[in-house]
């Protein structure tokens, strides 16, 4: 085939020129976009793609000793409406805007009614006006409801018309917050700790001390828009925080808080502290710190039990007498003359509390502690250690009084027991006698308790323990063992003498009000005048720190406890004011059957029959049989399934009475524990909402009334 070169070559030339011009246009436009329009397209890309978007990790739970949640992170939301549709394609944007506006107009009434049903505090008309106003203003982040809402409420909102669509399409979206919730309210709140409201940052307490364990590791993702849809692509998933299992017992905590609050209100006290500890392990089962605020309400504002460094007063006398006994300076059979209640000590008068009534005269060493004689203790210590006071202080450290506890709580104080310098420049002649009765030293209440706990624990001093284990999905991944601070604080003979004396303090001495009817208690009273610079001091009146520290039962100690109150003016009595609180706490612990063998806690002459909650009587009968407690039942053991009914304590035995309610009516759950009440009601198709702790005292749907499945019943519980 012949080609006419004269015609073809010009055509090739034209094509090449056109292609070259096209290429130059493309390159020119690319250069224009790269340089002249760089900022604009950078902003567009940022809208379409987001790199390294953090994915927050869920904070771990704080659990009680029996696995109940005491602090947990729950999501809360703020809900918004975006009235302006967006898309880079103008036609798609216009179409999406028209659809969104028309759907909002058509479904306005049903959306408003639905929001009113979810948030009954606002009317449907309110939500209708709210939605219309946002549309009129064309807002992109118009808040629909003024408060944060729960996850359940948010999921209900997502079921409404238009709101069920994706945020890109429908415009409804939510801002998520992780809020720390405490199901038991203020119980042990200062020890558990808290987070700053605006961010996941711990403030104090166990939340702060174990923050690295609870926090977890956040993940990362990037967000990209693909085919008009936003996709969150996970690069590294978050690792949720671990749960920590504390030693706190919810019931014991509640009992201790109620007991100290009643006494504080009676005395108009400033600060009240209760710490309950398990003797063998040092587990802190309850810790209460109540301070009277400006409005007259008592709240936990500071962890006084672990942070307050104050002169302990007469509870320190036990340590002083122990040093002298251990060093062989005195014996339990010695006597000391306390005169008429006033005694001059190196130019300064020492007084006993009964000096206006003539004092105690000549008393024995046990009576010195039984009657908390300032003169008796200071004379015994001064006469034996005045030439070598450092030996007395060495004895205090030897028995663990000045040993740092190293508690895992930020801000915890350590005991301050000063030593005399070699040249004696920091030591006056009156220092020793006044130190021996609890002055010139500063010890937090929990350190005093650790010392008395060692006496109860056969001389072994253990570190107070707040956290027992770290858990992941219910499985223990790390345990915190019992830490021994001192294997033996003194010899067995000295320990036995001190234990016998502390029992006499309660049975015959000033600590009688700390005693209990069914078991023996040992301990020591304490009263100290608080200096004006001490924590909690307000005004010019004299302040006192009164306390009682001891353990129970005396024969086989299971728990130790300290009760301390700061108050203004007289009367101020550790035994008279703190003793009853100690007694109430001890009896509350015993009454709930915390011992497998009740005989450990009872005198041989008494019959101990615990209270039993209404509910599952088969389970109650098994426990009573295991404990060897007499009970009567009015059904045969062959009865299938759970047996529901009432339990009555008649003083000598427990009567278990059957009460099977037909399934078509609401059962009577009053007197039951939360577990049994919820199980019984939910097994019949009712939705249960709980309020309070303890046993059921009321129910919103009365017993024997008819009900519908899915109906909500509210039950109130109280100790």
The pLDDT value recorded for residue 7 is 65
- Which tens digit of pLDDT belongs to each residue from 342-362? 999 999 999 998 998 899 999
Residue 597: the pLDDT is 39
pLDDT computed for residue 246 by the predictor? 95
Q: In this structure, are 196 and 272 located in the same domain?
A: no
Helix (H, G, I), strand (E, B) or coil at 175: strand
Domain holding 28, by residue range, is 5-36
Pairwise pLDDT comparison (45 vs 117), residue with the higher score: 117
d(CA 698, CA 692): 11
Same domain, 577 and 432: yes
- Tell me whether residue 467 is in a domain: yes
User: Do 442 and 323 share a domain, yes or no?
Assistant: yes
Does residue 211 lie within any of the structural domains?
yes
**Which tens digit of pLDDT belongs to each residue from 533-566?**
444 434 446 889 999 999 999 999 999 999 999 9
Residue 603 covered by a domain: no
Residue at a domain's end among 549, 566, 598 = 598
46 assigned to some structural domain: no
What are the pLDDT digits (tens) for 50-97? 666 677 788 889 999 988 888 888 778 899 999 988 777 788 888 888
Domains of the chain: total: 5
pLDDT above 50 for 637: yes
Of 538, 571, 565, nearest to 549 by C-alpha is: 565
pLDDT at 531 > cutoff 90? no
Any idea of the CA torsion for 351, 352, 356, 357, to the nearest 10 degrees?
-150
Q: Retrieve residue 601's tokens.
A: 């806690």
pLDDT at residue number 601: 36
> Would 510 be classed as within a structural domain?
yes
318 and 388 both lie in a single domain: yes
d(CA 304, CA 291): 9
Q: At 114, list the tokens.
A: 């639905």
CATH of the domain at 213: 3.90.1310.10
Q: Are residues 220 and 319 in the same domain?
A: no
Do 555 and 649 have their domain in common? no
Burial letters 77-96, b for 16+ CB under 10 A, else e: bbbbbbbebeeeeeeeeeeb
What is the percentage of the chain residues whose pLDDT exceeds 70?
A: 85
Two structure tokens written together for 326: 């251990």
pLDDT at residue 646 greater than cutoff 80: no
Asked whether residue 289 carries a pLDDT value surpassing 90, the answer given is yes
Mean pLDDT computed over 276-302 = 94
Strand 461-462 and strand 484-486: pairing?
antiparallel
User: What are φ and ψ of residue 164, in 5° steps?
Assistant: -75, -15
Structure-block tokens of residue 617: 């009587």
The answer to whether position 48 is within a domain reads no
Q: Are residues 149 and 181 in the same domain?
A: yes
Token digits of residue 49: 């793609």
Section 256-279 average pLDDT: 95
Which element (helix H / strand E) includes 219?
Answer: strand 219-226
Integer Cα distance of 549 and 514 in angstroms: 10
- Residue 388 CB neighbours (<10 A): 12
pLDDT of residue 268: 92
Is 43 part of a structural domain of the chain? no
**649 in the same domain as 690:** no
Least-confidence region, from 24-38, 96-110, 406-420: 24-38
Same domain, 219 and 256: no
Q: Looking at the predicted structure, is the pLDDT value of residue 236 above 90?
A: no
Q: Do 477 and 529 belong together in one domain?
A: yes
Whether 429 shows a pLDDT value over 80: the answer reads yes
201 Cβ partners below 8 Å, 6+ apart?
195
pLDDT band per the 50, 70, 90 thresholds, residue 144:
very high
One domain for residues 509 and 370: yes
Alpha-carbon distance values, 638 to 240, 539, 618, 643, 679 (Å): 47, 70, 11, 11, 22
pLDDT at 593: 53
What is the average pLDDT value for the chain, to the nearest integer?
Answer: 84
Predicted confidence band at 635 (pLDDT cuts at 50, 70, 90)?
Answer: low
Q: Assess whether 434 and 506 both reside in one domain.
A: yes
Q: What average pLDDT does the segment 258-272 reach?
A: 94
Is 606 a member of any domain?
no
Q: Is 672 exposed, middle or buried (0-12, 13-18, 19+ CB in 10 A)?
A: buried
Please state the three-class secondary structure of 326-340 as a single string. HCCCCCCCCEEECCC
Q: Higher confidence at residue 48 or residue 701?
A: 701
Q: How confident is the model at residue 695 (pLDDT cuts 50, 70, 90)?
A: confident
Q: CA separation (Å) from 564 to 43, 310, 352, 577, 589?
A: 64, 11, 21, 9, 19
């Amino acid at each position: 085939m012949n080609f006419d070169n004269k015609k073809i070559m010009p055509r090739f030339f034209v094509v090449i020129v056109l292609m070259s011009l096209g290429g130059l246009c493309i390159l020119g436009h690319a250069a224009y976009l790269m340089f002249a329009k760089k900022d604009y397209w950078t902003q567009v890309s940022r809208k379409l793609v987001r790199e390294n978007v953090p994915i927050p990790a869920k904070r771990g739970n704080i659990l009680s000793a029996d696995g109940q949640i005491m602090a947990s992170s729950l999501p809360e939301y703020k809900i918004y409406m975006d009235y302006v549709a967006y898309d880079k394609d103008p036609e798609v944007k216009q179409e999406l805007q028209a659809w969104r506006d028309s759907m909002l107009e058509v479904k306005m009434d049903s959306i408003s009614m639905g929001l009113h049903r979810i948030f009954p505090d606002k009317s449907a008309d309110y939500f209708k006006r709210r939605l219309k106003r946002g549309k009129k203003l064309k807002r992109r982040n118009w808040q629909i409801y003024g408060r944060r809402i729960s996850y359940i409420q948010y999921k209900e909102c997502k079921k409404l018309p238009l709101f069920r669509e994706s945020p890109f399409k429908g415009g409804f979206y939510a801002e998520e917050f992780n809020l720390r919730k405490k199901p038991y309210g203020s119980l042990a709140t200062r020890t558990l700790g808290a987070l700053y409201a605006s961010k996941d940052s711990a403030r104090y307490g166990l939340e702060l001390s174990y923050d690295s364990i609870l926090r977890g590791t956040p993940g990362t993702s990037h967000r990209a828009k693909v085919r008009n849809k936003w996709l969150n692509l996970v690069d590294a998933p978050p690792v949720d925080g671990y749960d920590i299992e504390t030693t706190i017992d919810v019931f014991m905590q509640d009992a201790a808080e109620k007991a100290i609050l009643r006494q504080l209100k009676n005395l108009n006290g400033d600060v009240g502290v209760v710490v309950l500890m398990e003797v063998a392990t040092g587990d802190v089962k309850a810790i209460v710190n109540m301070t009277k605020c400006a409005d007259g309400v008592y709240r936990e504002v500071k962890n006084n039990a672990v942070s307050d460094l104050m002169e302990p007063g007469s509870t320190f006398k036990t340590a002083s007498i122990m040093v002298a006994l251990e060093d062989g300076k005195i014996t339990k059979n010695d006597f000391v003359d306390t005169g008429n209640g006033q005694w001059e000590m190196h130019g300064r008068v020492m007084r006993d509390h009964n000096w206006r009534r003539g004092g105690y005269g000549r008393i024995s060493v046990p009576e010195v502690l039984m009657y908390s004689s300032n003169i008796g203790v200071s004379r015994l210590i001064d006469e034996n250690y005045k030439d070598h006071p450092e030996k007395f202080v060495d004895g205090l450290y030897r028995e663990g009084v000045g040993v740092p506890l190293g508690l895992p709580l930020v801000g915890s104080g350590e005991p301050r027991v000063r030593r005399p310098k070699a040249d004696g420049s920091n030591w006056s002649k009156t220092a020793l006698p006044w130190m021996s009765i609890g002055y010139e030293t500063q010890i937090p209440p929990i350190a005093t308790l650790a010392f008395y706990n060692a006496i109860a624990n056969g001389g072994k001093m253990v570190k107070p323990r707040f956290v027992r284990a770290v858990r992941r999905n219910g499985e223990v991944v790390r345990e915190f063992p019992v830490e021994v601070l001192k294997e033996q604080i003194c010899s067995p003979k000295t320990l036995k003498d001190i234990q016998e004396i502390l029992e006499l303090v309660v049975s015959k001495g000033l600590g009688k009000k700390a005693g209990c009817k069914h078991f023996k208690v040992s301990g020591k009273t304490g009263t100290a005048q608080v200096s004006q610079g001490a924590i909690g001091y307000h005004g010019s009146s004299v302040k006192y720190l009164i306390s009682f520290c001891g353990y129970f039962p005396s024969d086989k100690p299971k728990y130790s406890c300290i009760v301390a109150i700061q108050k203004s003016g007289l009367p101020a009595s550790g035994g008279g004011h703190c003793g009853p609180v100690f007694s109430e706490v001890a009896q509350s612990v015993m009454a709930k059957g915390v011992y497998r063998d009740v005989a450990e806690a009872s005198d041989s002459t008494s019959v101990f029959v615990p209270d039993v909650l209404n509910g599952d009587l088969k389970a109650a009968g098994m426990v009573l049989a295991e404990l060897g407690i007499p009970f009567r039942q009015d059904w045969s053991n062959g009865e299938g399934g759970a047996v529901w009914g009432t339990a009555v304590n008649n003083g000598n035995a427990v009567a278990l009475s059957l009460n099977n309610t037909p399934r078509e009516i609401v059962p009577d759950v009053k007197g039951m524990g939360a577990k049994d009440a919820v199980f019984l009601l939910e097994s019949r198709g009712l939705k249960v909402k709980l309020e309070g702790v303890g046993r059921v005292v009321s129910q919103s749907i009365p017993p024997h009334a008819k009900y519908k499945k899915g109906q909500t019943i509210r039950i109130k519980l109280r100790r």
